[in-house]
């Protein structure tokens, strides 16, 4: 682990001037490539470095409920304020459209007694909760936020409306990278995205413009974001988006080494050059 580089990424992306909360051990944090001990060290170091008023969210990527309980309890002990629950394998194959997720969250809430957030997967993956199920999950008092990654704009709007009708205080956090502009135009409670590790200022500008109902400022921020979004998320396979973010951080001089851990691979020269051109177009790199 490049801990010096990690500290530099936090300095770049977790400044309270741009960032209200910090989320670690998610997709962009290469959580599935880390050992349990490394994930806990990430939480401890993050909690020690970020501002004391910034809530710390930690990803929980479980195989099932016992694993989710174990991971969440360890994350809380290490300093996490909120456990962000990824869907376990058993929620696939259509099970996410039943009350299985509701009962899972009810049990996690009962046994953990800590704030929880749901990590919504794309609907097409088979792990994304239906609108009806998501609204039920949102009503569980311990569930304070939903990371909305359904990957269709219609699902986002349907879910947002249903959740706000059922549980107005549960935060909806848009996270569909291709539709940041449209999502915040429809409404939300903040942007949660791995892209904030690379472009926190651009996302802040888009969010603040949406809060001010300033369409011209939203379009200006979105035009700066667009080339970066296409360079990071456009090339296949999309899972390499996080490695491309690291390439961008290296270009900005934030980190020295952008190499990912297996099974992720370094990006081609062509893809890396696309990231460079995008950062130049966004005004982030000369």
Backbone angles phi, psi at 152, to 5 degrees: -140, 140
Strand 82-85 to 171-174 pairing: unpaired
Going by C-beta distance under 8 Å and a sequence separation of 6 or more, which residues neighbour residue 215? none
Is pTM beyond 0.85? Reply is yes
Q: What is the mean pLDDT of each run of 10 residues along the chain (286 residues)?
A: 96 96 91 93 98 97 96 98 96 91 98 97 94 98 97 95 98 92 96 96 97 97 97 95 97 96 94 98 96
- Write down all domains in the chain, each with its CATH number in brackets: 3-236 (3.20.20.70)
Two tokens, residue 40: 């806990």
- 99 secondary structure, DSSP code: T
| Residue 52: Cβ within 10 Å count | 5
Backbone angles phi, psi at 60, to 5 degrees: -120, 110
Give the pLDDT score at 207: 97
- 260 secondary structure, DSSP code: P
Give the pLDDT score at 177: 87
Give the pLDDT score at 31: 85
Name the nearest CA neighbour of 189 among 148, 220, 219, 151: 148
Give the pLDDT score at 32: 87
């Amino acid at each position: 682990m490049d801990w010096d580089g990690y500290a530099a990424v936090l300095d770049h992306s977790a400044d309270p001037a741009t960032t209200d909360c910090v989320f670690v051990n998610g997709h962009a944090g290469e959580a599935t490539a880390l050992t349990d001990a490394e994930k806990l060290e990430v939480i401890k170091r993050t909690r020690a470095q970020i501002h004391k008023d910034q809530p710390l969210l930690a990803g929980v990527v479980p195989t099932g409920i016992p694993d989710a309980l174990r991971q969440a309890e360890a994350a809380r002990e290490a300093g996490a304020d909120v456990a962000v629950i990824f869907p376990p394998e058993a929620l696939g194959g259509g099970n996410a459209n039943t009350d299985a997720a509701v009962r899972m969250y009810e049990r996690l809430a009962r046994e953990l007694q800590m704030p929880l957030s749901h990590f919504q997967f794309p609907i097409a993956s088979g792990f994304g909760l239906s609108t009806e199920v998501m609204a039920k999950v949102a009503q569980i008092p311990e569930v304070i936020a939903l990371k909305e990654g359904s990957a269709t704009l219609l699902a986002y709007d349907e879910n947002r409306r249903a959740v706000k009708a059922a549980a107005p205080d549960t935060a909806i956090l848009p996270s569909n990278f291709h539709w940041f502009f449209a999502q915040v135009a429809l409404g939300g409670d903040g942007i949660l995205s791995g892209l904030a590790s690379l472009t926190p200022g651009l996302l802040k500008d888009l969010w603040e413009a949406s809060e001010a109902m300033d369409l011209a400022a939203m379009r200006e921020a979105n035009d700066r974001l667009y080339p970066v979004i296409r360079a990071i998320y456009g090339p296949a396979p999309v899972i390499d988006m996080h490695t491309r973010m690291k390439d961008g951080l290296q270009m900005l001089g934030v980190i020295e080494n952008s190499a990912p851990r297996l099974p992720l691979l370094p990006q081609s020269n062509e893809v890396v050059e696309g990231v460079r051109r995008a950062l130049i177009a966004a005004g982030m790199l000369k």
